[in-house]
Amino acid sequence: MAHLYLLSVFLSLLLSISPSLSSNSEGNALHALRSRLSDPTNALQSWDPALVNPCTWFHVVCDSNSHVTRLDLGNSNISGTLGPELGQLKHLKYLELYRNDIGGKIPKELGNLKNLVSMDMYGNKFEGEIPKSFAKLKSLIFLRLNNNKLSGSIPRELTTLKELKVFDVSNNDLCGTIPVDGPFASFPMESFVNNRLNGPELKGLVPYDFGC
């Protein structure tokens, strides 16, 4: 009798975790993301982890090797938070999460997305700092984090992102100075307005994190 009981407990445990036991790590990552998000319009309804890969899921685009390259969830009434698992999407090029109600901190694991070309998370409720790990996003061309509640300073490490063409952090709570090196030399002032920034950094005279 006890054996039967143990067996049924084991089996039910197995069944409860089996939906996430797909052999596809990218599908698992996205499924974990879904469990953190609240999705009243059912944009993520098709995200079925029992499928062999997430390439048939709506709002997901894969390349010819069945690796996720685009996540198109802009304007989808999504709330909740992001988690570290998004960083596992090693082939992701476009992360489009703009104009939703996502809050919490931006996970530093997003810095692992070494193929990322565009990160659009503007128009959400993200708080905390811009992760320094974003300096690892060597392919990044577009970084739009404007209209959130981000605080802290703009990581100086971001000046190493040679491909960065568009950088918008306007309408946040950022402080400190604006980097002037590398791609930051060409960003217009509109990219930084409505923060608590102290203007461009004065090299050699003022310590970088002054007043922040």
Partner 1 sequence: MARISYRLPPLPISVLVVSLLFYQSAGLNSEGQYLLDIKSRIGDTYNHLSNWNPNDSTPCGWKGVDCTSDYNPVVWCLDLSSMNLSGSLSPSLGGLVHLTLLNLSFNALSQNIPGEIGNCSSLEFLYLNNNHFESQIPVELARLSCLTALNIANNRISGPFPDQIGNLSSLSLLIAYSNNITGPLPASLGNLKRLRTFRAGQNLISGSLPSEIGGCESLEYLGLAQNQLSGEIPKEIGMLQNLTDLILLSNQISGPIPMELSNCTYLRTLALYDNKLVGPIPKELGNLECLKRLYLYRNKLNGTIPREIGNLSSALEIDFSENELTGEIPIELKNIAGLSLLYIFENKLTGVIPAELTTLENMTKLDLSTNYLTGTIPVGFQHLKHLIMLQLFGYIPSGVQHCKPLVQLHLAVNGLGGSFPSDLCKLANLSSLELDQNTFTGLIPTEIGQCHALQRLHLSGNYFTSELPKEIGKLSQLVFFNVSTNSLTGVIPAEIFSCKMLQRLDLTRNHFVGALPGEIGALSQLEILKLSENQLSENIPVEVGKLSRLTDLQMGGNSFSGEIPAELGGISSLQITLNLSYNNLTGPIPAELGNLVLLEFLLLNDNHLSGEIPGAFDKLSSLLGCNFSNNDLTGPLPSLPLFQKTSISSFLGNKGLCGGPLGNCNESPQLSSHPSDTKGTSVRLGKIIAIISAVIGGISLILIIVIIHFMRRPVDMVAPLQDTPPSSLVSDIYFSPKDGFTFQDLVVATENFDDSFILGRGACGTVYKAVLRCG
Instruction: Tell me the window of 2-10, 50-58, 192-200, 201-209 that interacts with partner 1 (CB under 8 A).
Output: 50-58
Contacts of 170 (CB under 8 A, 6+ apart): 146, 147, 190, 191, 192, 193, 194, 195
CA atoms of 101 and 165, how far apart (whole Å): 26
Contact call for residue 182 and partner 1 (CB under 8 A): no
Burial of residue 26, with CB atoms counted within 10 A of its CB: 0-12 exposed, 13-18 middle, 19 or more buried? buried
Contact call for residue 74 and partner 1 (CB under 8 A): yes
Contact call for residue 8 and partner 1 (CB under 8 A): no
Question: Whose CA is closest to 180, among 198, 131, 146?
Answer: 198
Residue type for 88, please? Q
Contact call for residue 62 and partner 1 (CB under 8 A): no
Contact 106, 121 (CB under 8 A): yes
Contact call for residue 10 and partner 1 (CB under 8 A): no
**Among 91, 108, 135, 142, contact with partner 1 (rule: CB under 8 A):** 142
**Among 96, 110, 116, 158, contact with partner 1 (rule: CB under 8 A):** 96
Output the smallest distance, CB 68 to partner 1, in A: 16
Contact call for residue 58 and partner 1 (CB under 8 A): yes
**Among 46, 149, 181, 209, contact with partner 1 (rule: CB under 8 A):** 46
Applying CB under 8 A, which residues contact partner 1?
46, 51, 56, 58-59, 72, 74-75, 94, 96, 118, 120, 141-142, 165-166, 186
